[in-house]
Chain A
Amino acid sequence: MTDPVQTPALRGRRILIAKPGLDGHDVGAKIIALALRDAGAEVIYTGLRKSPDHIARVAVEEGVDAVGLSVLSGSHRELVANTLDCLRQAGASGVQVFVGGTIPVDDFEFLRGLGVRGIYTSAMPLDEVVASVAQTLAETAA
């Protein structure tokens, strides 16, 4: 493997990668988790089949800066909306939320409207995903 590119904006930042709902496709989530970790972030991965409520609870307990939600089952609209609700209710509305998976372009606007900061599909190069997460976190740190 090539050397990981350390991204200063990610050093010391805590990121939760989560699989909401029943979707069992975890490769994308794991790849992103590994890439963010190698770029300097502290990454926590939930494992499969977590409820929005559980994800919000972990996000608060772990004091994360960002949550990445991975959904490939077509249920992203409901699951992302529910998770954002749970985060708000848990008093964690400052946590940045990213979404990855099989997300039709038509749904991007809906998700951004909910407050999602970045949407990443499988065609996007990993370096770009990491850079985008880093930039968003750098902006919010300021």
Chain B
Amino acid sequence: MGVVGTLFALLYLGVDRKLVAHMQARVGPPIVQPLRDIRKLLMKESIIPDGSLGWLFRAAPILCLVGSAILLLYIPIFGQKALFEEFGDAIVLLYLLVIPSLAFVVAGFASSSPYATVGAQREMVIMMSYEFPLAMTIVAIGWRTSYVAGANPFALSTIAENPIWHIVGPAGVVGTLMLLFVLLLVTPGEVGKIPFDVAEAETEIAGGLLVEYSGRNLALFYIASAIRAFAMSALIVALFFPYNLSSVIGTGVSALAIVVNGLFFLVKVFVVMFVCIMLIRAAMARFKIDQASKFYVLAMSLVSLIGLILIRLDTMI
């Protein structure tokens, strides 16, 4: 499951680059380009800078890849239950999502480069900024689900069985829409895409966090980034659109159902990625760190708070 997820994550990255290129009136690279990029990176020399903390420098990419890959085991992908369903729910995911970002930060500080240090500082600031709206969204949904299925409200399978849209009234629908909006905008920050790629700003700090990385280490970070984008989109799908097509078209439990569910999942993830990553990437300039941080801490927190309040009000009506 993890390997298939990784493969699709890389293909979706390829699709992202191709579509954004078309939005910019270019042709863009072929969809399998990320696979070629990884093959190229693996063939190159992994340079360890002299002043860096060698063991940490080498450990960070592995930590990042493991952290991202683990996400795929806890999030229901391809319409199936997550592999480690019993061991972790949305709260665990909240913590797991921090690990890849933390690995990036550690990598930045472990490289002995002022550019990397600045990038790592920025990444820390952004991480702290978007944690609040992210946590607010997950808590809101879990809390609302607890009214219906008290047993394990934060488990993603419970949320999947009781889609949030079905259990809220009109005020709650507005609230949920706001939460969806927040989560869609947290994703580019989480994944490090424009307008929130301050940590890796190419033109400002020459690649920021990852400036000293090359070869195999960089390949691991590359794969990890792709998986994170895929995993975040899968999380949004799991929280807000956990529907399965097979139950709608009534194929029952069979191999066909698995295939249909898998394809439908891919379509849903594609739509989410298109909205929150591709469109936004092509349409905006990069924010500065204070602008990005203010956006999350002030604007997005406010919106998610209002969403939570609306969902609460909904239970009282």
Q: Do A and B come from the same complex? A: no
Q: Could you list which residues of chain B lie within 8 angstroms of chain A, going by C-beta atoms?
A: none
Q: Could you list which residues of chain A lie within 8 angstroms of chain B, going by C-beta atoms?
A: none
